[in-house]
Amino acid sequence: MRPVITGISKISSSNIGRALMKLNDAIKQMRFINGLEQLAIISIGIILDHARISVPVGNANIGLFVGIDDSIEDLKDEYFNGILNDGILGASPLHFPFTTPNSLAAQVSIAFDMRGESITIPVKRSYRNVIEYAHECITERHTKMAIAGGILLNDKRLSIEEGRYMAEFFFLEDAGSAAERGVTVYNHAWEEAYETL
């Protein structure tokens, strides 16, 4: 098995609105709790479209491997600042689930009915280990296809609208599967992905 990349998505949080317009109406009409959730879902929606995967996915053929850095701390801070400022009334039941690192991957899985394995991996400035793990899962036949990448804190001095976060994901699948589906394969696939990280 030789995994190749058949989809790429790279979005700054400053481009969320423009990116959302490219997605189908079901995604456009979703209610998002926070900007990171919205960025994750939009990024994955774009990569699924790019790789020509129908939504909802509705099967376990695609694994989701999400790298997350200190950006998740912003969600925790927002929740706990609500408690500090307003006491128990500031404890938002909608926001609480986002205080766990795997919450973004879980929301993506729910949004697109992705039933494959979903793993969150801590990262610092690089998705390399996330891509390597997804590559290994495909070559060892644990999953047929994989979405690998993540969301990084770009500049903590910026707001979400100014580009605080950067999301970058790659859709990987076996070269044979890509040929069978007739999708575009990017040259030297996952090796080139490492060069950009």
Closest Cα partner for 39 from 118, 103, 104?
104
CATH 3.40.47.10 assigned to domain 3-196? The reply is yes
Give the span between the Cα atoms of 149 and 169, in whole angstroms: 4
User: Is the alpha carbon torsion for 122, 38, 42, 13 positive or negative?
Assistant: negative
Give the mean pLDDT per block of 10 residues along the chain (197 residues).
88 88 73 86 92 92 91 79 85 81 90 93 84 92 94 89 92 91 75 49
* pLDDT at residue 196 in the model: 46
* pLDDT at residue 188 in the model: 53
Q: Where are the alpha helices (H) located in 87-188, listed in sequence order?
A: 103-112, 128-139, 175-181
Give the span between the Cα atoms of 18 and 93, in whole angstroms: 29
CA angle 127, 153, 115 (to 5 degrees): 55
* pLDDT at residue 189 in the model: 47
Closest Cα partner for 103 from 19, 23, 30, 32?
32
CA dist 20 → 26, 29, 38, 68 (Å): 11, 10, 9, 21
Q: Where are the alpha helices (H) located in 87-165, listed in sequence order?
A: 103-112, 128-139
Closest Cα partner for 41 from 78, 14, 9?
9
Write down the pTM of the prediction: 0.86
Give the span between the Cα atoms of 79 and 116, in whole angstroms: 29
Sorted by where each begins, the domain ranges of the chain are 3-196
- Residue 121, H or E segment: strand 118-122
